[in-house]
Amino acid sequence: LVSSEEQKQMFFRYWTCKEAYVKATGDGLVKLEEIKISLTKNQPSRLLVSGDWNLRELTPTDNFAAAVVVA
């Protein structure tokens, strides 16, 4: 069970990871529902898609989310 603040943080982590993937692939937002990300509290995120894509989350400062996806 997570607090509403934790839910909000997880949402932004999830969205940021998906956004990084579509920017890296150039696919745009049309395939957003097909992108699977595994997020677990206090664990690194995992990109669950085919191919040699690597996802890394960054924490530039509190209350901000950043992610990079590279092949």
30-53: pLDDT as tens digits: 778 889 999 987 888 999 998 999
Tell me the two tokens of residue 5.
Answer: 């603040």
Rounded distance, CA 25 to CA 23, Å?
Answer: 6
Tell me the two tokens of residue 41.
Answer: 């509290």
> Among the residues of 1-71, which ranges form H helices?
4-25
Q: How confident is the model at residue 2 (pLDDT cuts 50, 70, 90)?
A: confident
Tell me the two tokens of residue 12.
Answer: 């932004």
Rounded distance, CA 2 to CA 5, Å?
Answer: 8
Cα diameter, the chain = 35
Looking at the chain, the whole-number percentage of residues with pLDDT higher than 90 is 63
What's the pTM?
0.86
Output the pLDDT for position 32. Answer: 84
